Amino acid sequence: MKRGLITALAIAKKDLQTELRTKESINASASFALVILVLFSFAFDLGREELYAIAGGLLWLVFSFAGALIVNRSFARELPNDCLDVLIASPAPAWSIFLGKSVAAFFLLFIVELISLPVFGLFYNIHWTQNFPGLLLVMALATWGITVVGTAFSAVTVNIRLRELMLPVLLYPILIPLLIGAMGTTTALLQGEPMSGEAIASLRLLIGFDVIYTSLALYMIEFILIV
């Protein structure tokens, strides 16, 4: 177990190191998120109340699309030079390879989200800093859900030629409950409501989603990678 966690950290560090050098997916993901936020701000002429009502939905649509660009590269970056074969043949358990990749994708997507938030606040005139700790918690839980499911499907589609198309097709239907929970809670938090009632129920949904899909992915990943 301890060795598996050390291996997961080594893989996460390697993924972050190579990504920060090449900036392949983070540049694409951050630019996409910012462009969509800016375009939407010009596309809709909404009043203050309407803006606050759709804020959570808008943010999580953008974050989930940006997330697909990041998780798409999770296993695909192992394809050049057949590095995936070497990882699988190593004593590293499959779950630790998966965990390391999920952690790296989580940090990359979280960075994109943190870059997008001020732009979102600026263009939509929304005070996103109120209830910021609560917002961070929701972002962390939902981002983990997106990255853990996305990384699992990245492993499923890694050897498919049209993986860039297949990944979103497989990913978004599974993410629906997570996105509903994240959108509802984020909207409530941005409107300045305290974390209670429905928001707590949505938070529970996010935690449940994360626990179920993380456990399932950790268990299934060996059967996905070795066929």
Partner 1 sequence: MLAVEADRVWKYFGDYPALRGSSLQVPQGACMALLGRNGAGKTTLLRILANLSRATKGEVKIFGDASRGDVVRRKTGYLGHGIGVYDDLSAIENLLLFGRLLGVENPEKAAIEALERVGLERVKDGMAREFSRGMRQRLAVARAFLHQPELLLLDEPFTSLDDRAINVLQALLRDALSRGATIVMSTHQIREAMELATNVALLERGKIVHTGPQTPEMLADPGWLYRTYGDRQVQE
Amino acid at 150: G
- Please choose, out of 82-90, 111-119, 138-146, 178-186, the segment that lies near partner 1 by the rule CB under 8 A: 82-90
Lookup result for tokens 């983990």: 144
Sign of torsion, CA 30 40 178 65?
Answer: negative
* Least CB distance to partner 1 at residue 1 (A): 11
> Judged by CB, which is closer to partner 1: 91, or 173?
91
Task: For tokens 């999580």, name the residue.
Answer: 60
Is 6 near partner 1 (CB under 8 A)? yes
Does residue 18 interact with partner 1 by CB under 8 A? yes
Spell out the residues 6+ positions from residue 167 whose beta carbon is closer than 8 angstroms to its own: 68, 71, 72, 150, 153, 154, 157
CA 75 to the chain's CA centroid: 15
Cβ-based nearer residue to partner 1, 46 or 88:
88
CA distance 175 to 155: 17
Kindly tell me which of 65 and 95 has the beta carbon lying closer to partner 1: 95
Q: Interacting stretch for partner 1, rule CB under 8 A, among 47-55, 88-96, 198-206, 209-217? A: 88-96
Residue numbers of the site for partner 1 (CB under 8 A)? 3, 6-7, 10-11, 14, 17-18, 21-22, 80-83, 85-93, 226-227
